[in-house]
Amino acid sequence: MQFHNPIIPGYNPDPSICRAGDTFYIVNSSFEFFPGVPVHESKNLVNWSYTGHVLDRESQLPLTGCNPSGGIFAPTIRYHDGMFYMITTNVNRMWMNGKAGNFIVHAKDPKGPWSEPAWIDQMGIDPSIFFDDDGSCWYTGTGRANDGQGIVLFKLDPMTGEILSDKKIISRGSGGKCPEGPHMYKKDGMYYLMLAEGGTEFGHMETIGRSETIDGPYTFNPAGPILTARNDNASGHPIQCTGHADIVDDENGNWWIVSLGTRPIGPMAHHLGRETFLAQLRWVDGWPVVDCGGLMQLEAEGDLPHPETVSPVCDNHHYDFAEMKSWPVDFAWLRNPEMKNYALDGTLSLTGTSERLSTPNTTPTFVGVRQTQFKTISEAQLLTNIPEGCSAGLTAYGIHTHHYDVLITRRYGTLYAQLRKHIYDMEAVVSEIPLPECEKVVLKITSDRSKYYFAVDAGKGFVELGTALTIGLATEVTEMMTFTGTFIGLFAENGKARFTNFDYTAEWEGKPEMRIG
């Protein structure tokens, strides 16, 4: 059956997948955004519903002062004996306090509530857990042990985070740089250690080794990486940087691999973030072989489980705040939000503070959804009774140094619409028009692969305010290595603004009708 990739579009990197009965669950890294570690679920691997987040309390997810792309790195989700476990790293704890940032939480239901963190006394990132046939739980992750740096193994109490054995470095990879993202599996009596190597950029690849004993030695697949696009950069293959994968079987005995990947806007740059992709894999002579030679495809084929449940999906969001009583599951805030600045009071009321979108490492009054496709249309309707000096509107937001904002502001009593661009240390209002007094306006951002288009409607039809290049929000052009992707968000600065509606529609690249997932 055909399906369309990415299966979870937009900034959803470092996927980890598990299955409980007939239902699959995927978690992704979330960095400086709150809540943390989104959970999607599916029965057919192509229709994914956003069920919530693992880390939905500040006690689980302290992000104060977090750098862009700090916070929560790669997670792992596993299901064992009726309990779900999620293990990950809050690099903030490591970078700001010098303490190990690895922790594990558990829940009977992936919708939560999840437990408080059980911290693990192991530095490094990319922790994973594996339950052996005897029920023992083993930690793997990148880090140091007495015998150096590499993929470290030790027995773990998954409920308390207590380390129950000596630590041992069991692999340093197959020769690629940055061996990381380890996951361990057992099949036909053999232990398999799968790694991401090559770095999460255009040299990314997924490798796998096997051993008769859990602590090695691991012999790596003589065929080389099972998944990569590193040899297809120049060919312009539409999916790049594939790696950081996880594998799972379905109830029919078929095997699947999910991995992160990017959809570049041009040579060597992407702005939608690292997304989650799917391919089928088959075992040949004791080694996994991924379909299409390990090159992820936008239109793929597979023996999907529960094909009768497959239906077309889209990423559209239509929010009418008049009736809304609870926060949509796909809303994301920057770091730990000051929730007194947000209210669903028949509108979405945002109370802007002196923290602006461009203020580093803070929590400006902002809430957004991930941009999931190149072609999108976003419209926000807001009331114009904003106070003097307040700015509020819609933003295409990468990080605090890279965002494009279409907004209204009041100066000396007059209401203006502006297109404001912030790139690196440069911020400019590139266009501004006075608005007639009116009760509300609609702000609009339209996007395609190369540009964003900004407009305002004050009651007499949309007036263009200008355009901006998508490359300006690409990960590869930011001053710091970012691991996130573009949000379309609502914001307010220096005063209260009230939004009545927010609509986001996305057009699937390629053959949307073929994305029957």
Q: Would you name the residues annotated as active-site residues?
A: 14, 180
Residue 199 is a binding residue for ligand 6LW (CB under 6 A):
yes
Residue 14 is a binding residue for ligand 6LW (CB under 6 A):
yes
Minimum gap (Å) between residue 194 Cβ and ligand 6LW: 12
Q: Which is nearer to ligand 6LW, 87 or 443 (CB)?
A: 87
Minimum gap (Å) between residue 74 Cβ and ligand 6LW: 3
Q: How far apart are CA 226 and CA 128, in angstroms?
A: 20
DSSP assignment string, 410-468: EETTEEEEEEEEEETTEEEEEEEEE----SEEEEEEEE-SSEEEEEEESSS-EEEEEEE
Question: Of 52-60, 113-121, 192-200, 421-429, which segment contacts ligand 6LW by CB under 6 A?
Answer: 192-200
The correct pick among 110, 161, 181, 485 for binding ligand 6LW (CB under 6 A) is 181
Q: Which is nearer to ligand 6LW, 271 or 420 (CB)?
A: 271
Question: Of 93-101, 196-204, 337-345, 501-509, which segment contacts ligand 6LW by CB under 6 A?
Answer: 196-204
Q: Which is nearer to ligand 6LW, 200 or 365 (CB)?
A: 200
Q: How far apart are CA 166 and CA 431, in angstroms?
A: 62
Minimum gap (Å) between residue 180 Cβ and ligand 6LW: 4
Q: How far apart are CA 299 and CA 29, in angstroms?
A: 25
Q: Which of 28, 37, 13 is nearest to 243 (CA)?
A: 13
Residue 126 is a binding residue for ligand 6LW (CB under 6 A):
yes
Q: Count Cβ atoms within 10 A of the Cβ of residue 513 and give its class: 0-12 exposed, 13-18 middle, 19 or more buried.
A: exposed
Minimum gap (Å) between residue 178 Cβ and ligand 6LW: 6
Residue 200 is a binding residue for ligand 6LW (CB under 6 A):
yes
> CA 195: distance to chain centroid?
20
Q: According to CB under 6 A, which residues from 16 to 35 bind ligand 6LW?
A: 29
Q: Which is nearer to ligand 6LW, 197 or 355 (CB)?
A: 197
Question: Of 116-124, 195-203, 344-352, 363-371, which segment contacts ligand 6LW by CB under 6 A?
Answer: 195-203
Contacts (Cβ under 8 Å, ≥6 apart) of 411: 388, 389
Minimum gap (Å) between residue 136 Cβ and ligand 6LW: 25
Detail the DSSP E strand segments found in 101-204. Answer: 102-107, 118-119, 128-131, 137-145, 148-155, 168-171, 180-187, 190-197
Q: Which is nearer to ligand 6LW, 14 or 291 (CB)?
A: 14
How many chain residues bind ligand 6LW (CB under 6 A)? 14
Residue 68 is a binding residue for ligand 6LW (CB under 6 A):
no
Residue 355 is a binding residue for ligand 6LW (CB under 6 A):
no
Minimum gap (Å) between residue 274 Cβ and ligand 6LW: 7
Residue 95 is a binding residue for ligand 6LW (CB under 6 A):
no
Question: Of 194-202, 355-363, 371-379, 488-496, which segment contacts ligand 6LW by CB under 6 A?
Answer: 194-202
Q: Which is nearer to ligand 6LW, 297 or 484 (CB)?
A: 484
Contacts (Cβ under 8 Å, ≥6 apart) of 513: 312
What per-residue string of b and e applies to 204-226 under the rule 16 or more CB within 10 Å gives b? bbbbbbbbeebebebebbeeebb
Q: How far apart are CA 290 and CA 19, in angstroms?
A: 19
Question: Could you tell me the two tokens for 195?
Answer: 């790694």
Q: Which of 419, 378, 426 is nearest to 402 (CA)?
A: 426
The 3-state DSSP class for residue 93 equals helix
The correct pick among 3, 11, 33, 73 for binding ligand 6LW (CB under 6 A) is 73
The correct pick among 47, 103, 180, 356 for binding ligand 6LW (CB under 6 A) is 180
Contacts (Cβ under 8 Å, ≥6 apart) of 460: 436
Q: Count Cβ atoms within 10 A of the Cβ of residue 148 and give its class: 0-12 exposed, 13-18 middle, 19 or more buried.
A: exposed
Sign of torsion over alpha carbons 505, 508, 514, 517: negative
Site of tokens 């007036």 = 463
Question: Could you tell me the two tokens for 199?
Answer: 């770095």
Q: According to CB under 6 A, which residues from 235 to 254 bind ligand 6LW?
A: 244
Q: Which is nearer to ligand 6LW, 176 or 181 (CB)?
A: 181
Residue 273 is a binding residue for ligand 6LW (CB under 6 A):
no
Residue pair 458/436 in contact (Cβ under 8 Å)? The answer is yes
Q: Which is nearer to ligand 6LW, 199 or 238 (CB)?
A: 199
Binding to ligand 6LW by CB under 6 A, coded x per residue (else -) over 448-487, reads -----------------------------------x----
Q: How far apart are CA 287 and CA 67, in angstroms?
A: 40
The correct pick among 18, 46, 145, 196 for binding ligand 6LW (CB under 6 A) is 196
Residue 74 is a binding residue for ligand 6LW (CB under 6 A):
yes
Positions that interact with ligand 6LW (CB under 6 A):
13-14, 29, 73-74, 125-126, 180-181, 196, 199-200, 244, 483
